[in-house]
């Protein structure tokens, strides 16, 4: 039976180098002790911020020093835990990092309210008196914009102290989903026993053997169904937490509260869903084409991931994946590609799945480290795109950290999904242009359509689910397992159309989506994909001038509002045009695949 390797069985060349953050853990401990001392020191400045420009600058610089240390501590401990969630030593280290981060948040909670209490004209005077404060102008402007939602110093301190409670539901789900839940053993295509894992689920669902797909699908969701009451309570608690903070900060809804962090109107969110509803025909056509190409009478939910071109099998070893990514991203210029290539060879990436490792993929890091990428590489074409995607995030982080001061280095999540998806879009374009035969080209078109379906249609469906469940609780409703399953089933019916059989198991999919514990995040995948499609067209059609604008976008961090940064780079997401254009491109590729398949 195929089993997952232990961490010690993975070769070092495929592991990230967290020792680049802390060469040994005594250094982590030293930073931890230093942070404890600095937290005590920052309390001494309470009540002094409005006295002079120098006093204000001193506190802001101390805050940066503290946050940079705390960030390193947290990132290191979290990524060590992610290597093996069952490792009790790193569970403890992460708990300590999380706990001191909460202490820090509590100790510094007076700073923002105290700054907002300083009169606007006094802030202007301070900026004129001390040039070193000039870097904080956008920061001050942003505080004034959100002033009505900032509470008193004492209230902010209480909220900061509640942070440990606020992340409880997410932590419970994370440990359940990554360390505790086990899935059944099934027979693979050759009759051998194989344990379903979150790491191999995608590959099994792409199997050409329908029995394998069905048993994988049923095995995964039956495991979650056994815990449906617990998982409904966990997600419900997360929603209630969001609504609590929404009401305390005087926002009209949890959605408005979330979007306000990026200075984005709720209309952008509503418009995305409305545009998608108007363009469901493209998805329905694609599902109908999928049924015909698979040669099945009925298209089930376990049929929607398997490649449509059976004769063409892309098994991509990791070394080849790196080469494909480098070739695909050459339109971004020599500087970008050389830095990306160096990163892939310098211990940025943790490549393969191991027992207890956090599932999925992400890019992360601290301001004072290079970026890192967690993957669970499984030799699928999808994993090649995941590599391109996460390195897009990492390069965004790299450029932002190189150019921006710490305070503006962390670009918003709204912008993050643009950089990652530009890489994916350029890669698929390259692969389509260099494909050697029709079978390969059809395979790649199918893959792009799947990427689009998963990133635009499916993430918008997730976004609509989040909107519905929050509104339900805001109106006094309850999120029982039956209610969650019913809402989720209705959305699947709307997004996939009458041509797809909604197997009962799909009703439980909400129970395994980690992003639902970071509410109103996933819509950014859809807007990001749309913006990325626009950037890709500009880069390929305009060349150097578009690349220059795009690199300036990567370097901008959070130095301005997200929509303004995008607009300056050439993409205006305040209009429906980028989303509609991306949907039309999806429709054109559906038509192209229909024609190539003769259907």
Q: What is the spatial distance between Cα 422 and Cα 560, in angstroms, rounded to a whole number?
A: 21
Q: What is the DSSP letter of 366?
A: -
Alpha-helical segments (H) within 43-194: 53-83, 88-107, 111-116, 120-129, 137-145, 153-161, 163-166, 168-175
* Nearest CA-CA partner of 45 in 34, 59, 57: 59
Nearest to 184 by CA among 162, 207, 212: 212
Q: Please, which residues bridge with residue 363 across strands? A: 373
Q: What is the dihedral of CA 292, 296, 301, 307, to 10 degrees?
A: -60
| Cβ partners under 8 Å of residue 342, min gap 6 | none
Out of 67, 71, 390, 424, which one is annotated catalytic? 390
| 162 contacts: CB under 8 Å, gap ≥ 6 | none
Phi, psi of 549 (to 5 degrees): -60, -40
CA–CA distances in Å: residue 210 to residues 205, 294, 307, 497: 9, 10, 12, 21
Closest by CA to 569, choosing from 547, 556, 582, 553, is: 553
Whole-angstrom distance, CA of residue 539 vs CA of residue 546: 5
2 Cα distance to chain centroid: 30
Exposure string for 137-173, b = 16+ CB within 10 A, e = fewer: eeebeebeeeeeebbebeebbebbebebebbebbebb
CA distance 313 to 304: 17
Cα gap 496→415, rounded to integer Å: 28
Query: Does the annotation mark 595 as catalytic?
Result: no
| H-helix or E-strand spanning residue 500 | strand 500-501
Q: CB–CB of 558/410 below 8 Å? A: yes
DSSP 232-294: HHHHHHHHHHHHHHHHHTT-S-HHHHHHHTTT--HHHHHHHHHHHHHTHHHHHHHHHHHHHHH
Q: What DSSP string describes 546-575? A: HHHHHHHHHH-TTSS-HHHHHHHHT--TTS
Q: Which residues are catalytic?
A: 390
């Amino acid at each position: 039976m195929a089993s997952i390797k232990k961490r010690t069985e993975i070769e070092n060349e495929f592991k990230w180098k967290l020792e680049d953050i802390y060469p040994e853990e005594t250094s982590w401990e030293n930073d931890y002790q230093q942070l404890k001392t600095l937290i005590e020191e920052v309390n001494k400045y309470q009540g002094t911020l409005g006295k002079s420009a120098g006093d204000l600058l001193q506190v802001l610089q101390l805050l940066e020093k503290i946050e940079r240390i705390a960030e390193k501590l947290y990132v290191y401990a979290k990524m060590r835990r992610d290597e093996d969630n069952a490792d009790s030593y790193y569970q403890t280290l992460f708990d300590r990092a999380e706990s001191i981060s909460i202490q820090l948040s509590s100790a510094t909670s007076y700073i923002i309210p105290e700054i907002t209490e300083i009169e606007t004209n006094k802030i202007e005077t301070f900026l004129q008196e001390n040039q070193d404060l000039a870097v904080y102008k956008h920061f001050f402007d942003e505080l004034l914009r959100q002033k009505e939602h900032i509470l008193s110093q004492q209230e902010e301190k209480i909220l900061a102290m509640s942070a440990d409670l606020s992340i409880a539901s997410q932590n419970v789900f994370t440990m359940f989903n990554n360390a505790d839940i086990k899935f059944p053993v099934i027979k693979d295509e050759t009759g051998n026993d194989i344990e379903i894992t979150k790491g191999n689920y995608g590959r099994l669902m792409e199997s050409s053997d329908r029995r394998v797909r069905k048993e994988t699908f049923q095995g995964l969701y039956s495991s979650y169904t056994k815990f449906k009451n617990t998982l409904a309570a966990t997600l419900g608690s997360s929603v209630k937490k969001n609504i609590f903070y929404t009401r305390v900060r005087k926002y009209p809804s949890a959605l408005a509260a979330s979007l306000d962090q990026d200075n984005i109107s709720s209309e952008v969110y509503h418009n995305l869903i409305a545009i998608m509803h108007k363009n469901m025909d493209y998805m329905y056509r694609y599902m109908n084409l999928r049924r015909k190409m698979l040669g099945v009478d009925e298209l089930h939910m376990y049929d929607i991931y398997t490649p449509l071109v059976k004769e063409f099998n892309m098994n991509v070893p990791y070394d080849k994946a790196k080469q494909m990514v480098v070739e695909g991203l050459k339109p971004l210029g020599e500087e970008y590609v050389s830095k990306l290539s160096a990163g892939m060879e310098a211990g940025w990436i943790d490549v393969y799945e191991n027992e207890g490792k956090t599932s999925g993929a992400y890019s992360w890091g601290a301001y004072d480290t290079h970026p890192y990428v967690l993957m669970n590489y499984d030799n699928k074409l999808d994993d090649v795109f995941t590599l391109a995607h996460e390195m897009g995030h990492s390069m965004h982080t790299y450029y932002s950290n190189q150019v921006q001061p710490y305070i503006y280095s962390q670009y918003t999540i709204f912008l993050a999904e643009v950089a990652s998806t530009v890489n994916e879009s350029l890669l698929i374009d390259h692969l389509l242009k260099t494909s050697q035969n029709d079978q390969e080209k059809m395979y790649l078109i199918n893959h792009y359509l799947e990427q689009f379906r998963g990133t635009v249609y499916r993430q918008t469906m997730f976004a609509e689910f989040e909107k519905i469940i929050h509104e339900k609780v805001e109106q006094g409703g309850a999120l029982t397992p039956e209610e969650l399953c019913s809402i989720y089933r209705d959305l699947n019916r709307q997004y996939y159309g009458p041509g797809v059989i909604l197997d009962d198991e799909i009703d439980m999919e909400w129970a395994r989506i980690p992003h639902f514990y970071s509410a109103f995040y996933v819509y950014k995948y859809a807007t990001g994909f749309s913006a990325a499609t626009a950037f890709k067209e500009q880069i390929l059609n305009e060349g150097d001038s578009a690349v220059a604008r795009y690199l300036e976008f990567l370097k901008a961090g959070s130095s301005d509002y997200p929509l303004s940064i995008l607009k300056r780079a050439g993409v205006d997401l305040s209009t429906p045009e980028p989303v509609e254009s991306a949907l039309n491109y999806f429709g054109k590729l559906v038509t192209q695949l229909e024609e190539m398949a003769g259907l």
